Amino acid sequence: MGTHSELQATVQALVQPGKGLLAADESGPTIAKRFGTIGLESSEENRRAYRNLLLSTPGLGEFISGVILYQETLGQKADDGTPFAQLAARNGIVPGIKVDLGKIPLALAPGDEITEGLDGLARRFVDYKQQGARFAKWRALYNITASLPSRPAIEANADSLARYAAISQQAGIVPIVEPEVLMDGDHTIERSAEVTEAVLHEVFHALHRHRVVLEHILLKPSMVLAGADHAQQSTTAEIAAQTLRVLKRTVPCAVPGIVFLSGGQSPEDATANLDAMNRLGPPPWNLSFSYGRALQEPPLQTWKGEASNVDEAQKALLKRARLNGAAALGQYDASQEKK
């Protein structure tokens, strides 16, 4: 059984003010897509070299408290032979692991999806922990239309998230609970708020049912914003106000930290929106980030798979980490983007 002090120590390491998480847990198909944008083949060595670039960035631990790794990456080693989990820990960054096995269509609910991966999870946690993982992540996805997500999808995904979180805590590993309401579609910000509130309400209901200790989880939600195809795109002020309103209605104060996903927002937008929320008065939880593409796009485009570009790419990553660290304190200065 995971001890209270073990989980507490991990949570405290993750929710340091002015720090957030780097999501580097892209699955095979996703990393191939990212590499496609720079014309690079997704070979195991290229994936290892890229993750090595990210994790060996000097000074990254000043703004990044944890990194979410993919199963393959957890087993890989840095250029000097150090396992990646150890390299992260050496730089003051807590190593974590994505444990879900992806989404499939939810039976008899057209358009809805459910996340797989509960079978054998307790056994897998034993291995992940031996490899150095101290926290985990499970993502549930919700498509928005006028009729989606359906009630069965909201309930089934909440139950899976809660079961995962309970198994994780039992293993002594802090669970990140990630219910992502997708920004794909032409829905309004009001529809996004309505769905996000229903989803989060159900998730916390399930966590309570499964006796998950709220003080030892992190929530990784999507921000509340209009669909990407909606004619009226949301302003930063609207996103901050609507997102905080929904979170205050659904997330107990016992939850120590909320780390947003970027979900397809541009790096600059993701930073500005987080900053705006932290400026709206002190929230009851530590409000920070767990960004994938919004942290990685600049370094990836700078690197282009060339060893000679590694230094510049690492500077690009450090800059985004620094700006997001400032946003997590409500101290982001957009003029810094140009520097």
133: alpha, beta or left? (left if phi > 0; alpha if psi -120 to 50): beta
Strand partners, 63: none
**Confidence grade of residue 311 (pLDDT, cut at 50, 70, 90):** very high
What angle (nearest 5°) sits at the alpha carbon of residue 299, between those of residues 298 and 303? 120
Give the domains, in start order, of the chain with CATH numbers.
4-330 (3.20.20.70)
Percent over 90 (pLDDT), the chain: 97
Question: What is the reported pLDDT for 339?
Answer: 79
Q: What is each CA distance from 71 to 7, 40, 84, 136, 336, in whole angstroms?
A: 21, 21, 11, 11, 35
d(CA 37, CA 29) in angstroms, rounded, equals 13
Mean pLDDT across the stretch 68-84? Answer: 96
d(CA 214, CA 221) in angstroms, rounded, equals 15
Residue whose tokens read 């700006």: 323
**Confidence grade of residue 338 (pLDDT, cut at 50, 70, 90):** confident
Contact between 299 and 56 under an 8 Å Cβ cutoff? The reply is no
Residues 6+ apart with CB under 8 A from 180: 139, 140, 141, 142, 220, 221, 222, 261, 263
Contact between 101 and 124 under an 8 Å Cβ cutoff? The reply is no
Contact between 12 and 55 under an 8 Å Cβ cutoff? The reply is no
pLDDT tens digits along 216-260: 999 999 999 999 999 999 999 999 999 999 999 999 999 999 999
Residue whose tokens read 């200790």: 213
Q: Per-residue pLDDT for 116 more than 90?
A: yes
Residues 6+ apart with CB under 8 A from 254: 214, 215
Contact between 122 and 171 under an 8 Å Cβ cutoff? The reply is yes
Question: What is the reported pLDDT for 2?
Answer: 60
3-state secondary structure string, 58-117? CCHHHCEEEEEECHHHHCCECCCCCEHHHHHHHCCCEEEEECCCCEEECCCCCCCEEECC
For strands 103-105 and 113-115, give the pairing. antiparallel
pTM tops 0.85: yes
- Which residues are catalytically annotated? 178, 220
Percent over 70 (pLDDT), the chain: 99
d(CA 316, CA 296) in angstroms, rounded, equals 9
Return contacts of 27-34, CB within 8 angstroms, 24+ apart.
Answer: 27/70, 27/98, 27/102, 28/72, 31/70, 34/293, 34/296, 34/300
pLDDT tens digits along 12-37: 999 999 999 999 999 999 999 999 99
Give the pair of three-digit tokens for residue 247.
Answer: 């979170």
What mean pLDDT, rounded, does the chain reach?
A: 97
Question: What is the reported pLDDT for 69?
Answer: 98
pLDDT tens digits along 172-190: 999 999 999 999 999 999 9
pLDDT tens digits along 117-139: 999 999 999 999 999 999 999 99
Q: What is each CA distance from 38 to 42, 73, 215, 302, 309, in whole angstroms?
A: 11, 21, 41, 9, 13
Question: What is the reported pLDDT for 3?
Answer: 81
The three-class DSSP label of residue 124 is helix
